[in-house]
Amino acid sequence: MENSVSEIAALWDRILVKIKAKMDDQLVYDTFFEGSYIDSIQDNKMIVVPNSQLAVTILSTKYKDLIDSVVREATESNFEIRFVDKDSIKKQVEIKPVKQPFFADSVINPQYTFKNFVVGPSNREAYQAALMISQNPGKLFNPLLIYGGSGLGKTHLLHAIGNAVKEKYPGIRVLYVHAQQFLNEFIKYVNGQNEGTNLVDWFKDSVDVLLVDDVQFLAGKIRTEETFFSIYNNLQTAGKQVVLTSDVNPAQVDGLEERLRSRFVSGLPLLISPIEKETCESILRLKIEANGLDVNDFDPEVIAYFAETFGKNVRVLEGAFERLLFYTVNIHKTKHVDLPTAMDSVSSLAEAQDAKTQLSEEKIISAVADYYSLAPYQLTGKIRTSQIAMARHIAMYLIRTLLDVPFTKIGQTFGGKDHATVMNGVQKVENSIKTDKDLAKAVGELQARLKV
């Protein structure tokens, strides 16, 4: 409720009249109550300013009960009254934190910690490096780069580093920035909206640990990349920790400035692979417990089914699980969750997920064929020219990395090739990408097309 200044003043006058009436000694009243006023009312908090420092002490001890009861009577509500000296009110106003000129809204999410990150073979190295860095920022691998597909826990680890650093070294200034946020801030900055503070200098003076999420967003934004490069170099020279994430290996990000690309991978680049089923199951069990539920109320097949169907992306897995909870609490009310109930709760999601997978293998083959002006059947057929063989390997590589299909199954799609042949093909592409720029560019472009 908004209270106007005059309403508040009138209220306090009424209160004073009542207090005065209840006091035996008018001199005491005059001495300690005269000239007091309400500074502000917010929710149930009332701040009262007495006429001196000593009056603050007297009113808040000896007369507290009297004042409380009169206020309750006059307002018919329970205010929590604080007596504050006039000077300290002024000070409180003055020491309002100065708004930082850049990334004022940036926060580290306290929900993402190392403790609630489930570790398995696919993410172990990334987890280990992140943990070590949070204990020794700037001293080990710089920059640490974590890359891997969507929903595999990169952002989670970045925030976990931030939270752990802040806990262990409260004085260290940690900044989390999403690359998109960096672009926006940069645009505001070049448009002169930051009252003269230099962005590059600001980073140098104000940030000790810089966490940048999804750096692939910087690609193709030449001026932003240049500025980011200067910021990065300054921090690096000063021995400050930088941690980056990317949803693809920077070697394959199209349009990323060469010197940034080489900086990004110059420390420790680590891949998070698609999370294996057992780890997904552990994540689900953790989620169940975090929701205050009992794992035993879920049939093991339910957990296995969810991990299998949605585990390619933990974000999707979490979404599906939340849907299941909603369903069992609101629609099909049940305490014990069995497989048919679980499948019902997410049937449309699961179909979409299946369709995506089926579509994607075909989609990859047709995208690669298209890129090399071939027909899809030429890719999956037996004819071998060097051009076709290379396109075929790229398609296998993309199917493997984007969909995590087993080699044997890829072999079947490509006209019955064996496990070793497919693996060789995939490895050939993996290795050549590092040195062959044209190949890296082709793969990068294909990945970009397939994401649409």
Of 154 and 392, CB closest to Mg ion = 154
Among 51, 122, 142, 155, which residue sits at the site for Mg ion (rule: CB under 5 A)? 155
Residues 6+ apart with CB under 8 A from 146: 126, 129, 130, 154, 157, 158, 243, 244, 245, 246, 270, 272
Of 40 and 313, CB closest to Mg ion = 313
Instruction: Give CA–CA dist 24/369, Å, rounded.
Output: 98
**Closest distance of CB 120 from ligand ADP, Å:** 7
- Exposed, middle or buried, 351 (CB in 10 Å: 0-12/13-18/19+)? exposed
| Total residues binding ligand ADP (CB under 6 A) | 16
Q: Give CA torsion, residues 359, 303, 419, 425, to 10 deg.
A: 60
Of 154 and 417, CB closest to Mg ion = 154
**Closest distance of CB 282 from ligand ADP, Å:** 8
Provide the CA 54 distance to its chain's centre, in angstroms: 50
Please report whether residue 321 would count as binding ligand ADP according to CB under 6 A: no
The one segment of 77-85, 100-108, 111-119, 183-191 that binds ligand ADP by CB under 6 A: 111-119
Please report whether residue 117 would count as binding ligand ADP according to CB under 6 A: yes
* Secondary structure of residue 418 in the 3-state scheme: coil
**Closest residue to ligand ADP using C-beta atoms:** 153
**Closest distance of CB 179 from ligand ADP, Å:** 12
Cβ pair 252, 443 in contact under 8 A: yes
The one segment of 131-139, 151-159, 190-198, 330-338 that binds Mg ion by CB under 5 A: 151-159
**123 binding partner (options Mg ion, ligand ADP, none; Cβ < 5 to 8 Å by kind):** ligand ADP
| Cα dihedral 20, 26, 30, 32 sign | negative
CB atoms within 10 A of CB 225: 20
**Closest distance of CB 312 from ligand ADP, Å:** 12
Please report whether residue 318 would count as binding ligand ADP according to CB under 6 A: yes
Cβ pair 255, 261 in contact under 8 A: no
If you count DSSP H runs as helices and E runs as strands, how many of each does the chain have, helices first?
A: 21, 8
Of 154 and 263, CB closest to Mg ion = 154
Please report whether residue 178 would count as binding ligand ADP according to CB under 6 A: no
185 vs 32, 192, 416, CA distance in Å?
53, 11, 52
Among 40, 52, 150, 206, which residue sits at the site for ligand ADP (rule: CB under 6 A)? 150
Of 31 and 150, CB closest to ligand ADP = 150
Q: Are strands 45-49 and 144-147 parallel, antiparallel or unpaired?
A: unpaired
Please report whether residue 118 would count as binding ligand ADP according to CB under 6 A: yes
Task: Label residue 394 left, alpha or beta by phi (over 0 means left) and psi (-120 to 50 means alpha).
Answer: alpha
Of the candidates 421, 368, 437, 438, the one whose C-alpha atom is nearest the C-alpha of residue 399 is: 368
Of 56 and 160, CB closest to ligand ADP = 160
Paired tokens of 165: 């650093």
| Interface characters, 86-105, with ligand ADP (x: CB under 6 A) | --------------------
**445 binding partner (options ligand ADP, Mg ion, none; Cβ < 5 to 8 Å by kind):** none
Q: Are strands 209-213 and 268-271 parallel, antiparallel or unpaired?
A: unpaired
Of 38 and 158, CB closest to Mg ion = 158
Q: Which residues between 337 and 356 bind Mg ion (CB under 5 A)?
A: none
H or E stretch at 45: strand 45-49
Q: Which residues between 152 and 171 bind ligand ADP (CB under 6 A)?
A: 152-156
Please report whether residue 236 would count as binding Mg ion according to CB under 5 A: no
| Total residues binding Mg ion (CB under 5 A) | 2
DSSP-assigned letters across all residues of 210-252? EEEE-GGGGTT-HHHHHHHHHHHHHHHHTT-EEEEEESS-GGG
Of 133 and 314, CB closest to ligand ADP = 314
Please report whether residue 179 would count as binding ligand ADP according to CB under 6 A: no
| Interface characters, 256-285, with ligand ADP (x: CB under 6 A) | ---------------------------x--
Of the candidates 332, 331, 342, 336, the one whose C-alpha atom is nearest the C-alpha of residue 309 is: 342
* Secondary structure of residue 146 in the 3-state scheme: strand
The one segment of 79-87, 95-103, 112-120, 407-415 that binds ligand ADP by CB under 6 A: 112-120
Among 166, 315, 323, 409, which residue sits at the site for ligand ADP (rule: CB under 6 A)? 315
Of 75 and 109, CB closest to ligand ADP = 109
Chain residues in the site for ligand ADP (CB under 6 A): 112, 116-118, 123, 150-156, 283, 314-315, 318
Chain residues in the site for Mg ion (CB under 5 A): 154-155
